[in-house]
């Protein structure tokens, strides 16, 4: 039996120790590397959009020719967004840089004229007519303290969130962290700037005095932060697996991440609760907002899920020199002798198909010798941020007769996988791109549309776990 598909993230060696943050050269490098190595390039750039893509690329290159180094990131993000692939990105990886060097790099980032003194005055003068989002908000134990206020220079329906104080050396006072638009009684995130100042576009949910930005955390209205330590513990626990008895028939297993670093914790939770799992009538597995990692992290669950053979989809690598070296370089530290020999054999075969698609993962069938009676029924909770390895879990486990999917469509980050990291000349940043393509893209592409659950849970339902616990099949 072949192991379930594994997503990998391997670091390429540094291109150079010299720092070259010229935007023109870095943008040109990005374009060239993605054109040559990104496995989805030929799917995404076709005769129907080639001219529009070329014009778009040329226009950004002209801007890059004179752009400041800190502004270059937005140009790169905008260009990568054309492909609509959630595994394709650029990340801030300032290995070896000092705090002063990082602060200097971002000193020209977007700023506002608002400051703490002016905001205090504004809040005091307008107490009776403030929007509920206006005021001070805190993330973590003062990791970020921002002020949110109407952006009167732009549009009265928009709000600007700016840094008041932070412990993060990437950020300085008055720099813009987010912009928010109000439509009726609802709020929409125009953009949120991540730790590296790159623009992200999360959903925003405001519940009383909590602002939930999904992957970018929960923010708390300042005057309601008396129990900050409790909030921090709650935020920190969000990434760890947990098991809970809900009632005499129902158990809840929460798996927030499949990052390989959590494999031991996931295995430990499963082992500690094996007796409960072996007697459970209904197991709810919550993988909402699980951004993936590696399928080996959750492989210990398979015996409890399995009812019949599980069929896995074939996948091919674009066998360029960069992709071969990145995924299967036999000199990667920590490889066992068996794995190293397998890598060497794969490299030999891929080199025979240089710059072609090579069938790296043939279709396979997962078969176990025994079918466990319990859990008798399994409900898997998913949402729009369940991605990558989490979606591989969904595709495989939904084949079990025990499993029903609940929630909303998954992320749609599944067609192109096995992500590589490649340093660009400005070594503060790395390109992340997938090198392996599921062959099912030709007939059943899932990028962005995601996987549809069996039972859809609308946003109007506040407690999804309770909805699933009390759900009666067939009703």
Q: Is residue 402 part of a domain?
A: yes
Nearest Cα to Cα of residue 4 among 288, 292, 255, 408: 292
* Cβ count within 10 A of residue 105: 22
Both 225 and 346 in a single domain? no
Q: How far apart are CA 145 and CA 337, in angstroms?
A: 50
Q: What's the confidence (pLDDT) of residue 223?
A: 59
How confident is the model over 141-161, as pLDDT tens digits?
Answer: 668 899 999 987 766 689 999
Strands (E) across 29-175 are located at 89-92, 135-139, 144-150, 158-166
CB of 327 within 8 A of CB of 422? no
Same structural domain, 271 and 196: no
Q: Which domain holds residue 403?
A: 238-325+333-416+434-470
What is the domain count for the chain?
Answer: 2
Quick check: 33 and 431 in contact, CB under 8 A?
yes
Q: Could you tell me the pTM of the whole model? A: 0.81
Does 39 fall in a domain? no
Domain contains 72? no
- Is residue 177 within 8 A of residue 213, CB to CB? The reply is no
Planar angle of CA 95, 140, 173, nearest 5 degrees: 70
- Nearest alpha carbon to residue 438 among 400, 396, 397: 396
Residue 399 sits in the same domain as residue 465: yes
Please report the beta strands in 231-371, taking only residues with DSSP state E, as ranges in sequence order. Answer: 242-245, 250-254, 282-286, 310-312, 315-318, 357-361, 364-366
**Which of residues 209, 235, 261 is at a domain's end?**
235
- How far is Cα 258 from Cα 338, in angstroms, rounded to an integer? 25
Question: At 152, which CATH number?
Answer: 2.40.128
**Measured distance CA(462)–CA(176) in Å, rounded:** 31
Phi/psi at 158 (nearest 5 deg)?
A: -110, 150
pLDDT at 406: 98
Strands 310-312 and 357-361: unpaired
Q: How far apart are CA 16 and CA 180, in angstroms?
A: 39
Q: What is the dihedral of CA 424, 426, 429, 432, to 10 degrees?
A: -10
Q: Which of 167, 202, 235 is the last residue of a domain?
A: 235
* pLDDT at position 15: 37
The pLDDT value given to residue 301: 95
- 367 and 394 belong to one structural domain: yes
Instruction: Find residue 377's DSSP bridge partners.
Output: 282
**Claim to verify: residue 319 and residue 184 sit in the same structural domain:** no
- Tell whether 358 and 251 lie within a shared domain: yes
- How do strand 158-166 and strand 144-150 relate by DSSP bridges? antiparallel
The pLDDT of residue 1: 36
pLDDT value for 117: 93
Q: Cα separation of 107 and 324, whole Å?
A: 38
Under-70 pLDDT residues of the chain: 1-19, 141-142, 154-156, 223-238, 329-335, 474-475
Query: Are residues 251 and 121 part of one domain?
Result: no
Residue 404: count of CB within 10 angstroms of its CB: 16
Structure tokens that stand for 41 in this block = 């390039």
Please report the DSSP string for 395-411 in residue order: HHHTTSTTEEEEES---
Which residue from 49, 57, 236 is spatially nearest to 140, judged by alpha carbons? 236
User: Do 208 and 257 lie in a common domain?
Assistant: no
- Note whether 167 and 42 are within 8 A (CB): no
Predicted pLDDT of residue 446: 87
Picking from 235, 257, 280, the residue at the C-terminal end of a domain is: 235
User: Torsion over CA of 395, 396, 402 and 407, rounded to 10 degrees?
Assistant: -30
385-403 confidence digits (pLDDT tens): 899 999 999 999 999 999 9
Q: What is the CATH number of the domain that holds 273?
A: 3.90.226.10
Spatial contact of 163 and 146, defined as CB atoms under 8 Å apart: yes
Q: Indicate whether 81 belongs to any domain.
A: no
Cis peptide before 375 (omega within 30 of 0): yes
């Amino acid at each position: 039996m072949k192991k379930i598909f594994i997503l990998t993230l391997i670091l390429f060696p540094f291109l150079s120790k010299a720092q070259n943050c010229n935007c023109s050269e870095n943008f040109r490098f990005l374009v060239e590397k993605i054109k040559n190595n990104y496995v989805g390039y030929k799917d995404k750039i076709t005769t129907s959009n080639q001219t529009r893509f070329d014009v778009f690329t040329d226009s950004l290159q002209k801007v890059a020719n004179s752009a400041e180094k800190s502004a270059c990131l937005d140009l790169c993000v905008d260009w990568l967004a054309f492909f609509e692939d959630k595994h394709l990105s650029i990340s801030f990886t300032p290995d070896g840089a000092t705090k002063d060097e990082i602060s200097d790099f971002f000193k020209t980032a977007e700023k506002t004229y608002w400051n703490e003194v002016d905001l205090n005055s504004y809040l005091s003068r307008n107490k009776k007519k403030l929007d509920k989002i206006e005021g001070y908000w805190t993330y973590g134990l003062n990791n970020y303290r921002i002020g949110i206020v109407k952006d009167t220079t732009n549009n009265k329906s928009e709000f600007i969130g700016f840094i008041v104080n932070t412990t993060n050396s990437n950020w300085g006072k008055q720099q813009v962290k987010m912009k928010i638009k109000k439509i009726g009684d609802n709020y929409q995130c125009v953009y949120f700037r991540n730790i590296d100042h790159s623009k992200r576009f999360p959903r925003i949910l405001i519940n009383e005095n909590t602002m939930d930005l999904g992957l970018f955390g929960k923010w708390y209205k300042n005057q309601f932060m008396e129990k900050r330590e409790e909030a921090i513990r709650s935020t920190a626990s969000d990434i760890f697996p947990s098991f809970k008895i809900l009632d005499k028939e129902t158990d809840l297993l929460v798996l927030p991440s499949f990052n390989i670093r959590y494999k031991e914790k996931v295995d430990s939770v499963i082992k500690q609760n094996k007796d409960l799992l072996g007697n459970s009538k209904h197991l709810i597995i919550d993988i909402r907002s699980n951004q993936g990692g590696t399928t080996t992290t959750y492989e210990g669950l398979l015996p409890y899920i399995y009812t019949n053979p599980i069929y896995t989809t074939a996948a091919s690598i674009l066998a360029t020199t960069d992709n071969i070296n990145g995924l299967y370089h036999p000199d990667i530290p920590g490889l066992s002798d068996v794995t190293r020999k397998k890598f060497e054999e794969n490299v030999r075969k891929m080199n025979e198909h240089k710059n072609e698609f090579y069938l790296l993962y043939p279709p396979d069938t997962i078969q176990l010798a025994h079918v466990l009676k319990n859990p008798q029924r399994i409900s898997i909770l998913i949402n729009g941020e369940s991605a990558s390895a989490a979606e591989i879990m969904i595709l495989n486990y939904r084949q079990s007769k025990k499993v029903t999917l609940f929630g909303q469509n998954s992320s749609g980050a599944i067609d192109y996988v096995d992500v590589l990291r490649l340093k660009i000349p400005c070594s503060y940043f790395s390109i992340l791109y997938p090198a392996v393509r599921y062959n099912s893209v030709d007939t059943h592409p899932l990028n962005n549309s995601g996987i549809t659950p069996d039972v859809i849970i609308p946003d109007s339902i506040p407690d999804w776990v309770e909805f699933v616990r009390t759900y009666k099949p067939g009703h």
